[in-house]
Amino acid sequence: DIRALSRDYVSHSLVGASHSTRALDEVSLAVDGGEIVGIVGESGCGKSTLARLVAALDRPTSGHVLFDGDDLFSLRPKDLTRKRENFQMVFQDPFGSLDPRQKVERIVAEPLHVLARRPSRAEIREKVAEMLESVGLQAAHAGRYPHEFSGGQRQRIAIARALITEPKLVIADEAVSALDLSVQAQVLNLLMDLREKRGVSFLFITHNLAVVDCIADRVGVMYRGRLVETGPAHNVFERPFHPYTRVLAEAEPSIERFGRPTASERSPPPLGSAEAGGCTFRNRCPLAMPRCAAERPELRTIAPGRQAACHRAEDMGAEDIAGNGN
């Protein structure tokens, strides 16, 4: 459970003034066992900040991340270390995240060394072989170095490393974005398979809506640090309740666009101080009205399983229904 998570970054200028930027603004979201939750949004919307906080690689300014009922940020360091075997992270870059000087066997086994119970060498070897096979690589290749593998294989190695502690949750930040289309599809199938066989939950962060549409049960759409819409992935993209989701969905209409840069990657205009109180999307929103400048829309339930942070979410739904009738 992610509860009202916020993260501010403070920058100091030469004259001693400090300026605080809110990268993440009161994001709350639950990921259930075996569930794949996708997080989408433009670059700079706070997706990676969210990933790092959920993986406890960074601390929030306020809010909580509850894992099996324990707040990660109030655990003692020793207990947090123990807890880490339950959640692992996979990053975008299969080149940068694997140490080129280490053999695959060593790389994949690395998370085991933080476990409370130190496994024996034989156990490690066996576990590494099992993990490599479960991601479709040959156990016999454990003695090779990362450069001897393709990009897709390297990402599989990163996934094998993430799974070796048998985590309940894998946080994947743009985990397939650097891969070719056909390799992306393979890795996505692998993740869905792992969910099926091992009941692993995923928090899957990407700018690519087609990828989320393909693998996620639920999606959260982020805009400038806030969660603006949540719901079953397919419903959300088919029938958005937030105007921003519609902009994203229209920019990326089909699975053929998989992997190509789209409008969803363009950065939003800088946030003017005048708009701080209202809806942060209002200077791009075709439905904006005076209330949108005065009052910040909170995330609220619009339909069963569907939430949106927009004063006119019901109008978005009504517009769509009218449109379908014609």
List residues binding Mg ion (CB under 5 A). 48
Q: Is 248 in the site for ligand SF4 (CB under 6 A)?
A: no
82: number of Cβ within 10 Å? 14
Q: Is 306 in the site for ligand SF4 (CB under 6 A)?
A: no
The CB-of-310 to ligand SF4 minimum distance in angstroms stands at 3
Q: How far apart are CA 206 and CA 42, in angstroms?
A: 9
Shorter beta-carbon distance to ligand SF4: residue 94 or 240: 240
Q: Is 311 in the site for ligand SF4 (CB under 6 A)?
A: yes
Shorter beta-carbon distance to ligand SF4: residue 187 or 292: 292
Q: Is 271 in the site for ligand SF4 (CB under 6 A)?
A: no
The CB-of-225 to Mg ion minimum distance in angstroms stands at 13
Q: How far apart are CA 194 and CA 201, in angstroms?
A: 9
For every residue of 89-118, DSSP letters joined together read EE-S-TTTTS-TTS-HHHHHHGGGGGSSSP
**Binding-site member from 139, 192, 271, 285 for ligand SF4 (CB under 6 A):** 285
DSSP-assigned beta bridge partners for residue 9: 21
Distance of CA 206 to the CA centre of its chain: 6
Q: Is 243 in the site for ligand SF4 (CB under 6 A)?
A: yes
Give me the residue whose beta carbon is nearest to Mg ion.
48
Q: Which two tokens stand for residue 223?
A: 């805009």
Q: Is 281 in the site for ligand SF4 (CB under 6 A)?
A: yes
Q: Is 292 in the site for ligand SF4 (CB under 6 A)?
A: yes
Q: Which two tokens stand for residue 262?
A: 């789209």
Q: Of these partners, Mg ion, ligand SF4, none, which one is at the site of residue 312 (CB under 5 to 8 Å by kind)?
A: ligand SF4
DSSP-assigned beta bridge partners for residue 222: 227
Name the one range near ligand SF4 by CB under 6 A: 38-46, 98-106, 206-214, 275-283.
275-283
* Angle CA 156–48–214, to nearest 5: 55
Q: Which two tokens stand for residue 168?
A: 């309940």
119: number of Cβ within 10 Å? 15
Q: Is 226 in the site for ligand SF4 (CB under 6 A)?
A: no
Residue 221 backbone dihedrals phi, psi, to 5 degrees: -100, 125
Q: Is 287 in the site for ligand SF4 (CB under 6 A)?
A: yes
The CB-of-285 to Mg ion minimum distance in angstroms stands at 24
For every residue of 231-251, DSSP letters joined together read EEHHHHHHS-SSHHHHHHHHH
Binding-site ranges for ligand SF4 (CB under 6 A): 242-243, 279, 281-282, 285, 287-288, 292, 297, 310-312
